């Protein structure tokens, strides 16, 4: 029996799904590289927001080596498209969990646990 697939967390779903080189008509006759929303999220977290790989992997709910493989795959496809004049299409990945940017998983400090509230400490 195969291992169950772990959901990968993404915080951004792009509204533009296709990019084509200038001077071509639509996507007819050109080759397109297909990026998943997971690969776009990896690029967004690492390259756009400038987070380190450990933070990115924790946010996406994957291991650091898995995050590195996702990032390499996305960068390879983007480089191929830029160098060889190919289009890029973005497809949604079925194994994702969307959590909007700025919302966490509830693992941070909760009510009554922050500094200065006196709970759990000797106060005067």
Burial of 37 from C-beta contacts in 10 A (0-12 / 13-18 / 19+): buried
- pLDDT band at 25; cut points 50, 70, 90: low
How much is the pLDDT for 50?
96
Q: Which residue has the higher pLDDT, 55 or 26?
A: 55
91: pLDDT strictly greater than 50: yes
């Amino acid at each position: 029996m195969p291992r169950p697939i772990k959901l990968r967390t993404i915080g951004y779903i792009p509204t533009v799904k296709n990019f084509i080189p200038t001077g071509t008509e639509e996507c007819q006759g050109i080759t397109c590289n297909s990026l998943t929303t997971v690969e776009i999220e990896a690029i967004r977290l690492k390259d756009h927001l400038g987070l380190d790989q450990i933070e990115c992997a924790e946010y996406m709910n994957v291991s650091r080596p898995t995050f590195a493989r996702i990032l390499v795959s996305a960068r390879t496809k983007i480089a191929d498209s830029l160098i060889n004049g190919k289009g890029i299409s973005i497809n949604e990945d079925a194994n994702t969990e969307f959590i909007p940017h700025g919302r966490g998983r509830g693992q941070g400090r909760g009510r009554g646990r922050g500094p200065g509230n006196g709970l759990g400490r000797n106060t005067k």
